[in-house]
Structure 1
Amino acid sequence: MNIDWLEWLGYLASLIVLISLLMSSILKLRWINLVGSSIFSLYGFLIGALPVGFMNLGIAIINVYYLTRIYSSSKEYFKMLEIESNTEYFKYFLDFYKEEIRKFSDKTAFNVNDMTVSFFILRNMVPAGLFLASKHDEKTLKIELDFVIPEYRDFKTGTYIFQDRKEYFLERGYTRFISYSDIEGHQKYLTRVGFEEKTDDKGNKFYEKTIK
């Protein structure tokens, strides 16, 4: 059976759109769907199927609109909500997202009483993330968990913690963060928010960020 290149283009567009629907991150979904709908639109026009071409062109424009809103939004509201004990909500949050947490941490159970710093990150009043850190030395916090729920993984939360709210840590005398991680996805996140790869005295790899 011979399949010409236009049919392959249609199959490719269909596959990309299908992949986009598997994304838990809204940002990734929009970008991948934009690519798929654009190719599908081109495919529709090339084969003379104008309804297919125009419909997918419209979908592509909608994706561009929402991506523009995501990247240009200056009205989002962030807030740290400190956690003082192992509340029922804290335990439920960890349990609900335990499979996602495993993608960034080798632990899914944490005790607030063991932490020096612990807070939820609210994004437009939605609990978008959880930050837990213990004291490593007088000026260093060891990050035990820095987790953001799938819908908000666009690095804005990390920027909020380590840049916009760095005074929160400086006022408490902390100027350095360290994080040990063997998980590739977490390592990429740490690098993206300004951590540098280091090696400790025992030859173990870790990531470090300083603020001032």
Structure 2
Amino acid sequence: MNWLEILGWIGSAVVVWSLLQTRILRLRVLNFIGCAISVVYALLGSVWPVLGLNLVLCIINIYHLRKLTAQKETERAYKVLTVTPQDAYLQFFLDQHTTDITEALPEFNREDTLNGEATEAHIVLHNDETVGIVVLRDAGAGEARVLLDYVTPRFRDFTPGKYLFRDSGLLHSRGFTSVVAPAPANSQTSKYYSALGFVPEGDTSRLAVAQ
């Protein structure tokens, strides 16, 4: 097998890998990379049908990537609906995503949290689709504690959290000056909150709420 064939196999492997992704933005990025590699392979190997197909796929991916990034970075794309922890729709959403929440956040105790610790809940919407839930406890002195921060797989690209915690102004409007989230060191949770601007503090991370 020569280097050109290896290049072709790499392009095909990346395309297949992209189709295994649950996050649509990551799927599009990886699919574009795989198709671009396949374009180079087809061009050097004079495989014109493969070249044409992957050129078209590259253009399609670029179109959707521009649309996704433009839409996700505008405040018009996201809205937050504040509800009580016992809200009927909140309960329905949690019921529908119980398995995924348990896998992603095994420490979350729904009964104790929603009927005890929680003081407020926020439903994150992307246009008319519910993409996430954030449940908070007012710890006093302007501090909000995150009890649940769940985003559906398709939207796990930081933008819902970025909007709610940093861009929406919601927490400031509710009198909070900082928000603290559980984030054990070197965990995926810690990396997620670091990407949102939280500062590590032992097994938690803290974000100063912008005014």
- Alpha carbons of structure 1 residues 143 and 64: separation in structure 2 relative to 1, 3 Å: same
CA contact (8 A) 2:11 2:38 kept: yes
- Show the counterpart of 2:55: 57
CA contact (8 A) 1:77 1:124 kept: yes
* One-letter identity of the residue aligned with 1:29: L
- Show the counterpart of 1:156: 159
Q: How many angstroms apart in 2 are the aligned matches of 1:103 and 1:67?
A: 29
Task: Show structure 2 runs of 5+ residues with no match.
Answer: none
Aligned to 2:45, which of 44, 47, 52?
A: 47
Instruction: Give how far 1:165 is off.
Output: 2.2
- Show the counterpart of 2:33: 35
* One-letter identity of the residue aligned with 1:172: R
Task: Show structure 1 runs of 5+ residues with no match.
Answer: 200-204
* One-letter identity of the residue aligned with 1:196: V
Using the aligned pairs only, state the percent identity: 28
Q: How many angstroms apart in 2 are the aligned matches of 1:28 and 1:13?
A: 16
- Show the counterpart of 1:77: 77
**CA deviation digits over 1:147-194, x for unaligned, max 9?**
11121223221222122222x322332111111123722211101111
CA contact (8 A) 2:179 2:208 kept: yes
Aligned to 2:125, which of 122, 125, 136?
A: 122
- Show the counterpart of 1:97: 97
Answer yes or no: is 1:136 the counterpart of 2:139: yes
| Alignment map for 1:185-200 (pairs within 5 Å) | 185-199=188-202
- Alpha carbons of structure 1 residues 15 and 158: separation in structure 2 relative to 1, 3 Å: same
Answer yes or no: is 1:23 the counterpart of 2:25: no
Answer yes or no: is 1:179 the counterpart of 2:181: yes
Aligned residues: 204
Answer yes or no: is 1:170 the counterpart of 2:172: yes
Instruction: Give how far 1:104 is off.
Output: 4.5
Superposition CA RMSD, Å: 2.1
Q: How many angstroms apart in 2 are the aligned matches of 1:117 and 1:104?
A: 21
Instruction: Give how far 1:87 is off.
Output: 4.6
